Amino acid sequence: MADVQTIENVACGFCGLGCDDLTVEVEGRQVRAKAPVCPEAARLLRRLDTADPVARVAGETASETEAADAARQILASARAPLIGGLGVDMAGAGAAVDLAIRFGGVLDHYASEGLFRNYAAAQRTGWLSTTLAEVRNRCDLLLVVGDDPSATWGRLFERFFPATPLFAGANRRVVFLGAAPGEKARGQLAGAQVVHHATEDPVAALEALGTLVAGRRPPGESFGGVGAEALAALAEELRNAHYAVVTWNAADLADGDLVATRATALVDRLNVTTRAGVFPLGGRDNIIGVNQLLLWRLGYPLRSAVRGQASSHDGTLFATEAALADADVLVWISAFRPEPPPAFAGKVIALAHPETVFDKEPDVLIPVGTPGVDHAGTVFRMDSIVSLPLGALRVATLPSVAEAVRRIAEG
């Protein structure tokens, strides 16, 4: 029997919140997280002492070299590859860009919908934003738009609202504009005053709020189902707050782009007289880091294509779903979780988490290790500023994405 090894202060790269205080037990090949940990991290860190799956080509067991050779052959004759998924650490992201430069291809991350909804606002007007440590210590009024985000980011409010902030004082308030906060959120916010304004149209409510904050009264009795008086009172609180923060998860909101636009405008108006910032939620599977790397390497964010030694960007055409319609090869990369590729008629090369369940056998399957479990790596937090070093928890038996891609590209 292997000894049980307890590793403290483990950094977690899955949801983008960037918790780095996890305690993990490792016993031989087995990994299990102990508190403090959210359910998603517990699930994604869990490893049993099972044999790794091996590479396959057309469903037949293959060596890693054979799989890399097969992938290279497919890519060499590809007309329009899509390099998708992109659940990778920074080294994996660099390798994916190298692959696009070598063979051409569109680059997108599977969770980019929310990011681009936010960019609809950001690229038109810009925005005034803030980061986690500022929220923790300065935010005295937090406006949460849409659904309770605790389902996706299990420790969000625990991280947002520590017991003893440096500046925010004892009277911290959280206003939910949308769905009601769940039990978990209420528990984590026990030290704050929690208010809920139910609405199914947060865009209308935010728009009215923006008008009110600017000192004008919008015509109407209620906005998105929230009474004008309640919104007027909230506007007054926002104006009186020292540091208000507006947060939302654009991926979960049908009108995420409009929520982002209205929230941005609201915060813009608040900053004329007091301080405030937006804190857009997102960041799953290092999407922010991959996006950062594309920006410095290609000059464009995700949903960009490299073709003929030039790159271009189109937030609509190069989104995974649209790009798949034009693609003949899909390189699907998902190292953090067993995210299966979307349905696709063309050839599929999968660099996949070992537990991935495929609807259709990929043409080439190369199982890859998980950053922060099998190998070290770097991931960005959702605020796009802070990045974390992930350590290895056990000896790797599978290649990292960077190694697997290198083997494909270098042959």
Binding residues for other proteins (CB under 8 A): 9, 11, 18, 20-21, 90, 94, 97, 100-101, 119, 122-134, 136-138, 159, 162, 164, 166-167, 242-243, 271, 274-275, 277, 292-293, 295-301, 306-311, 313, 378, 380, 384-389
Report, in Å, the least distance between residue 379 CB and other proteins.
10
Select 266 or 350, whichever has its Cβ closest to other proteins.
Answer: 266
For residues 185 and 148, the answer to whether their CB atoms sit within 8 Å is yes
Burial track 88-119 (b if 16+ CB lie within 10 A, e otherwise): bbbbbbbbbbbbbebbbbbbbbbbbbbbbbbb
Report, in Å, the least distance between residue 180 CB and other proteins.
26
Report, in Å, the least distance between residue 48 CB and other proteins.
27
Select 57 or 121, whichever has its Cβ closest to other proteins.
Answer: 121
Select 152 or 292, whichever has its Cβ closest to other proteins.
Answer: 292
Report, in Å, the least distance between residue 83 CB and other proteins.
13
Cα separation of the two ends of the chain:
40
Select 22 or 231, whichever has its Cβ closest to other proteins.
Answer: 22
Task: Report CA 14 to chain centroid distance, whole Å.
Answer: 8
Select 215 or 308, whichever has its Cβ closest to other proteins.
Answer: 308
Structure tokens at 209: 């709020």
Report, in Å, the least distance between residue 194 CB and other proteins.
21
Select 160 or 332, whichever has its Cβ closest to other proteins.
Answer: 160
Select 70 or 185, whichever has its Cβ closest to other proteins.
Answer: 185
Report, in Å, the least distance between residue 268 CB and other proteins.
10
Q: What residue has token string 């804190």?
A: 279
- Give the single-character DSSP code of 405: H
Report, in Å, the least distance between residue 9 CB and other proteins.
5
Report, in Å, the least distance between residue 191 CB and other proteins.
15
- Hey, what long-range contacts does 19-26 have (CB within 8 A, 24 or more apart)? 19/155, 19/159, 20/388, 24/393, 26/393, 26/394
Enumerate the β-bridge partners of residue 279: 247
Distance of alpha carbon 381 from alpha carbon 286, whole angstroms: 7
Select 100 or 213, whichever has its Cβ closest to other proteins.
Answer: 100
> In 3D, which of 117, 77, 403 has the Cα closest to residue 280?
117
In which region does residue 309 sit, left (phi positive, over 0), alpha (psi from -120 to 50) or beta (all else)? left
Q: What is the dihedral of CA 397, 401, 404, 407, to 10 degrees?
A: -140
Total length of the chain: 411
Distance of alpha carbon 206 from alpha carbon 259, whole angstroms: 7
277 C-beta neighbours (distance < 10 Å), count: 21
